[in-house]
Structure 1
Amino acid sequence: MLLWIFLVGFAAANEEFSSQQNSTRHAQYRGSQVLRVRNATESIRNLLKSLEGEKAIEIWKQSNVFGKFTDILVPSFTLSFVRQQFENLNATFRVMIADVESAMHEQIAIAPRKQSKNKNKNKKSRSYNLTFQRYHRISDIYGYLDYLVSTFPSICSIETIGTTIQGRQIKVIKISGSNAKFSFYIEGGIHAREWVSPASVAYIVRELVEYRSKNSFAENADYYVSPVANPDGYEFTHTNTRLWRKNRRDSDKSCPGVDLNRNYGYQWGGLGASRQSCDETFAGGNSFSEPESQAVRDFLTKIGPSVQAYVAFHSYGQYILYPFGYDKVLAPDSADLQKLGAKIAKNIRKSSKKKYKVGNSAILLYEASGGADDWAKGGVGIKYTYTIELRDAGRFGFLLPASQIEATGKEAFIAIKTITQEIAGIKRKKKSRF
Structure 2
Amino acid sequence: MTVLLGFCATVAMPAAAAVPAPVAQPAAAPVAPVAQPAAAPVAVGGAGPGAYAFTPGARTVAGTEGTADAVPLDPRHTYRSSLPRGGRLYYRLRLAAQDTAYVPVTAVPPADAAVSATDGIRVSLRDATGGSCSYASARFGAGLSPRPVTALGQREAGKALCQGGGTYYLLVERLDAEGSGAAAPAQRWDLEIAPVTEPGLARAGATSPPRTWDSATPEPLTGRPRERSGGTGFAGARPLGPGVWRTTLTPGETRFYKVPLDWGRQLHASAELGGAPGHGYVGGALNLSLYNPVRGSVEDASLGYTGAAKPAALAPVPPVEYANRYAVQAGVTSVRFAGEYYLVLHLSTQLSGTFGQGPFDVTLRVRVDGQAHAGPAYAGSPVPEDAFTVTEQDREAALTGDTGGGGDDRVMWLVAVGGIGSGTALLLVLGGWTVAARRSHARAR
TM-score, structure 1 length as denominator? Answer: 0.29
Considering fraction of residues, name the structure with more helix.
Answer: 1
Considering fraction of residues, name the structure with more strand.
Answer: 2
TM-score, structure 2 length as denominator? Answer: 0.29
